């Protein structure tokens, strides 16, 4: 996904940080920050960051499950559900 709609140089971030933070929060879209014309950072509201991070962690667990299945490391549904909830709780605690 390319973020070309909302790009700001680092000088604008330095001068107008509060404005950019408000804009990121209101629009719930990332703002790409550039230095010397090159993208170097992304400013994003906390809710979007947390949602994206949770989605990433879930995808990571799903990929591990795929590998386990392919390699024959399987367990019953009840055992898998219990382990999933334990791992999810541990991940949330570490955030």
Residues 54 and 82 in one domain: yes
User: Which range marks the domain in which residue 62 is found?
Assistant: 48-94
Contact 43, 24 (CB under 8 A): yes
**The pLDDT of residue 86 is above 80:** yes
Question: Are residue 30 and residue 53 in the same domain, yes or no?
Answer: no
In a domain, 2, yes or no: no
Report the number of distinct structural domains present in the chain: 2
pTM to 2 decimal places = 0.64
Percent of the chain with pLDDT over 90: 82
8 Å CB contact between 10 and 33 = yes
Instruction: Read off the pLDDT band of 1 (50, 70, 90).
Output: low
> Both 21 and 53 in a single domain?
no
pLDDT per residue over 13-25, tens digit each? 999 999 999 999 9
Q: Where residue 16 sits, what CATH number does that domain have?
A: 3.40.1620
pLDDT digits (tens, 9 = 90+) for 47-75: 999 999 999 999 999 999 899 889 998 88
């Amino acid at each position: 996904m390319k973020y070309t709609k909302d790009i700001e140089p680092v000088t604008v971030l330095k001068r107008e940080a509060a404005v950019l933070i408000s804009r990121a929060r209101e629009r719930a879209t990332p703002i790409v920050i550039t230095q010397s014309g090159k993208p170097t950072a992304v400013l994003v509201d906390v809710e979007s960051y947390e949602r994206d991070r949770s989605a990433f962690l879930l995808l990571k667990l799903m990929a591990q499950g795929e590998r386990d299945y392919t390699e024959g490391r399987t367990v019953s549904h009840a055992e898998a559900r219990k382990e999933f909830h334990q791992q999810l709780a541990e991940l949330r605690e570490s955030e």
